[in-house]
Structure 1
Amino acid sequence: MSMSATSSAYEIKLDDSQSIKFGGYIKIDGRYVDGNIAYRDFWIGSGSVLPESQSQFKMFANESRINTTYKNGDVTAFVEMDFYGGGGNEIISNSSNPRLRHAFIKYKDVLVGQTWTTFMNTSALAETADFAGPMVGEAFVRNNQIRYTRGAWQFSIENPESFGGDASQDTAPDFVAKYTHSADWGNVSVAGLFRSLTTVSGESESGVGLSIAGKVKTTGKDDFRFQFHTGNTGRYVGVVAAQDIVGEEAEESTSYMVAYRHFWNDTSRSSVFYGNITTDITDVDRSHWGINYFDNLTPKLSAGVEVGNFEMAEQDADSNYVQFSVKYAL
């Protein structure tokens, strides 16, 4: 048995076919926000509109996470937790409860458990200090699922949830099919989402969504990331900015996100990003932009600052923020 340290985890070799890897990171954030949208540690595409602008400063470590990977031949098991599970208070302890993020088993080409929806292209997420980033324009949800991968193709049946309707009567899983083309210049994925949604009166409504996303290398180490989604994507895109069902109808939304990351040198980089979502029934028009700077002080320790704005245009509300972050990879 031997132990080795990498930039992202510590691995214990049990024998030639078995290993256990421990990873994660510790992240401390300080955030100052000024505006008239109520929020806490990060913005998830929605929030109460305050009668007037307010300012607030907070520090928190909830994004910190730990994970474990077990490998035995063709079997991989992975579990990860962070600390956005609620609990505690800021009067005495600042304690936070663990929250399950991922828990899945993978055998050869089949994955079973909770992880990122197959509808996502995780390489197309912007690098941000804000935990959520421009989620209003990103596909971002973790689902329990059964996924089959065959080369560039992935197919999955995933846990249904009629957000805004009567989820207690959901009787069919969501279906996702995705094709990803990868090359030296990066990757582009096209994904389709097929759903049976349940309205508040128990009626069934069909939902179909489309996603195009990717990450393209430009000059040097720089890259451009993009996402575009349309149709009945509901809770799969924008977090809670758009519902699946509004009354007796399936909501339609259009969303996009663009981000450019530039490396100033071998250790420092910046990203500028923008995300937006609009809907047809609730007339949502919400956006989030930001620009940041990160520097690796050591191979595992980084620090950064980000300034940005999130807006709910349909309610004439917005907030500006400045966030400082320090992150140590375990």
Structure 2
Amino acid sequence: MFNMKKLLLATGLLAMAGSATAGYEIKLSDKDTITFGGYVKLDARYVDGNINSITNDYWVGAGNVGDISRTSLRATETRINTKYVHGDVTGFIEFDLHGGGGNEIVSNSSNPRLRHAFIKYKNILVGQTWSTFVNTSALVDGVDFGGPLNASAFIRQGQVRYTQGNFQVALENPESDKGDSSQDSMPDVVAKYTFNGDWGNVSVAGLARQLNTVGGNSESAFGYGISGKINTYGKDDLRFQIHGGDTGRYVGVVAARDLVGEKVEESKSYMVAYRHFWSDDIRSTAFYGKTTTEVADTDRRHWGVNLFKSYTKELSFGVEVGNFESIDQNADSDYVQFSAKYVL
């Protein structure tokens, strides 16, 4: 008979996949286990201002000036995952409902979206997961999905990764954003080294790519990132990300593009967040993120302050107020967002 038990903490693999949630494990044999996890989440959000390219759940750093005053209630961040372990081999797959589709007329039927699908054997990982350029521990504990995505390394894609101790190197899927992606014959190369200890962690990452312009030119692009999570007083922590060079689509989602016309875009991004525990079950985070670009001359900013209350290990509620700002377009939007989350 299967020996079923509830895991109180996520495994290191689930944390790596960005699914830092508990789960249910079924032990099939001495070498075989299967784990199911995820969470159910509702977001209620009100946005008011003149940045109109804001999704129902989060801002991705785009501008597009236009008045917006909108309320939305959505459960599309809800996700489910499963992990199968057989000795040294691990398979992991995760979906959420941010895949679009559906509306209030047709039952709001949102499409599933693939987040992670990879195989790990000893030091080798193949499949889709967080880019090696990303330090998931430096992402903000926010109500708005991911916090200031306009200034964060936040990308998942297909890759082949090798890990040796604290060092990782990977060949990852290429994409010439705003260029000719049909000519992307060379994979992106990413390397990262992570320093860690009881004090937290700091990662230093480098990125090398070949970008292909619409005009038929091939351009080299190099970027860097320094990010981490530093434990401070008690359970409090400081999270930060600093990126520069030609990071393009790796940072800020669409706050910076890979190419502007025939030129490689150079950008600078930084994000800082402080999380404070008022008690064992009440916590807050204040954060700020900014990305500026050289060629397009954009300046995108996002700040927010939130409060979370955990009623059980599985159930929590949160509220956040904040502001998105597009300096180059003289536009901004305020928002307030409430969330209810139940970890499976």
Interval of TM-score (by shorter of Structure 1 and Structure 2) = over 0.9
Pairs within 5 Å for 1:165-314: 165-314=179-328
Distance 2:101 2:297 in 1: 35
Alignment of 1:315-330 (within 5 A): 315-330=329-344
In the alignment, structure 1 residue 48 sits paired with structure 2 residue 64: yes
The AA in structure 2 aligned to 1:286 is R
> Which residue of 106, 117, 125 corresponds with 1:111?
125
Structure 1: runs of 5+ lacking an equivalent:
none
Question: What is the aligned partner in structure 2 of residue 2 from structure 1?
Answer: 3
Deviation at 1:91, TM superposition (A): 2.3
Per-residue deviation, 1:40: 2.4
Q: Distance in 2 between matches of 1:257 and 1:307?
A: 17
Is the 8 Å Cα contact of residues 61 and 300 (structure 2) preserved in structure 1? yes
Instruction: State the alpha-carbon separation in 1 of the partners of residues 84 and 141 from structure 2.
Output: 27
User: What count of residue pairs does the alignment treat as equivalent?
Assistant: 328
- What's the counterpart of residue 71 of structure 1? 85
Note the aligned Cα RMSD (angstroms): 0.8
Can you give the 5+ residue segments of structure 2 that lack an aligned partner in the other structure?
9-21
Q: Secondary structure at the match of 1:282?
A: coil
Measure how far apart 1:129 and its partner are: 0.5
Give distance in 2, aligned partners of 1:293 and 1:311: 22
Q: 1:92, CA displacement in angstroms?
A: 4.2
Per-residue CA deviations over 1:227-267 (Å, capped at 9, x if unaligned) read 00000000000001111111111100000000000000111
1:68-116 Cα shifts (integer Å, max 9, x gaps):
0000000010000000111111124121110000000000000000000
Assess if the C-alpha contact under 8 Å between 1:43 and 1:132 holds in 2: no
Shift of 1:54: 3.1
Q: Does 1:145 align with 2:159?
A: yes
8 Å CA contact 1:44–1:132 kept in 2: the answer is: no
* Cα distance in 1 between the residues matched to 2:208 and 2:234: 39
Measured after TM superposition, the shift of residue 131 of structure 1 is 1.1
> In structure 1, how many angstroms separate the alpha carbons of the residues matched to 2:64 and 2:327?
13
Distance 2:147 2:174 in 1: 25
Q: Is residue 135–residue 227 contact of structure 2 (8 Å, CA) maintained in 1?
A: yes
Between the aligned residues of both structures, percent identity stands at 62
Q: 2:175 aligns with which of 135, 155, 161?
A: 161
Structure 1 length-normalised TM? 0.98
Structure 2 distance, partners of 1:62, 1:290, is: 21
Superposition TM-score, scaled by structure 2 size: 0.94
